[in-house]
Amino acid sequence: MELKLLLYELDEIKKANPPIPAEIAKVREKVLFELFAGDQDTMNLTEILNLQKKNFANASTFIKFIPGVKKGQSYLKQGLNKAPSAVLALSCSALKGGLRKLQTRFSI
């Protein structure tokens, strides 16, 4: 019921088409001016690296809360642990198969 009322109110606002004041463009200019006003010193390398470390830490914290990430990490670790043995087994079988083909070709 509440959702219907909210949608009804939004429809009424759209139908009313309220006038947009002309000062809105000026507000945008003021905000941008205040944002970029002041000292425009460049950042040194250590500040940039510290900022990137913080960004990476925040991103990794966010990723921890995504559903399925922990399970995916465990599957990935299991796969990486099994990968060297699987690559070794495949390369050994390919090498043996190649040697057998060479032996049959030279024996003919």
**With pLDDT > 90 as the criterion, what percentage of the chain qualifies?**
0
What number is the average pLDDT over the span 34-47?
Answer: 74
What number is the average pLDDT over the span 1-12?
Answer: 82
What pTM was estimated for this model as a whole?
0.29
Alpha-carbon gap, residue 14 to 10, rounded angstroms: 6
User: Per-residue pLDDT for 18 more than 80?
Assistant: no
For residue range 44-91, what is the model confidence (pLDDT) as tens digits? 888 888 888 888 888 878 777 777 767 776 777 777 677 677 666 767
Alpha-carbon gap, residue 40 to 62, rounded angstroms: 31
User: Residue 1's pLDDT is what?
Assistant: 73
Residue 24's domain comprises 2-107
SS3 content of the chain, % helix, strand, coil (to 5): 80, 0, 20
How many folded domains does the chain comprise?
1
